[in-house]
Amino acid sequence: DGSPLMTEEVLDSIAAELDLRRPVWEYTTFGELKAQMAESKLEGYMVRDAVTQETILKFKTPYYLVTKFLGRLSDSRVRMMYAYPKGFKQQVDEEFYPLVDHLVANVPEAVFFSMSDDARVPMIREIINNMF
């Protein structure tokens, strides 16, 4: 609509006045954010231009992507993961190979199959949090 976007500081002020929570935000460089992404257990980051406040891009963290990927596997992909883990691991980042190995070794295929996506995602996140 052509209206200028509000700055994070203005949004913080409005939220404080209305007693609303706000997401954590910070000014940073692209390089610093990229380094932070590797260790983050958040879903991701919105990157806004510091001057115009326009959203430039959204980063999803590897943690978020792999938990969603493994948590929402189709039946055929689950069968592949258990029957041929080496080939399956070629579809995920190398740092998550131990996770695939752990699932295959410690969570029976029938149990993994029987779980809903909503149950798989928190289980996978818990395993990641304990492994890394």
99: tokens are: 């996770």
pLDDT (0 to 100) of residue 95:
80
Please state, in angstroms and rounded to a whole number, the distance separating the CA atoms of residues 13 and 20: 10
Which pLDDT tens digits describe the chain residue by residue (132 residues)? 567 788 899 999 999 999 999 999 999 998 899 888 888 888 899 998 888 888 899 988 888 888 888 888 888 989 999 999 999 999 887 888 898 999 999 999 999 999 998 899 889 888 888 876
The position carrying tokens 């890394």 is 132
* pLDDT on residue 1: 59
7 secondary structure, DSSP code: P
pTM: 0.66
CB 12 within 8 Å of CB 60: no
What pLDDT does 18 receive? 96
Under DSSP, the state recorded for 61 is P
3-state class (DSSP) for residue 59: strand
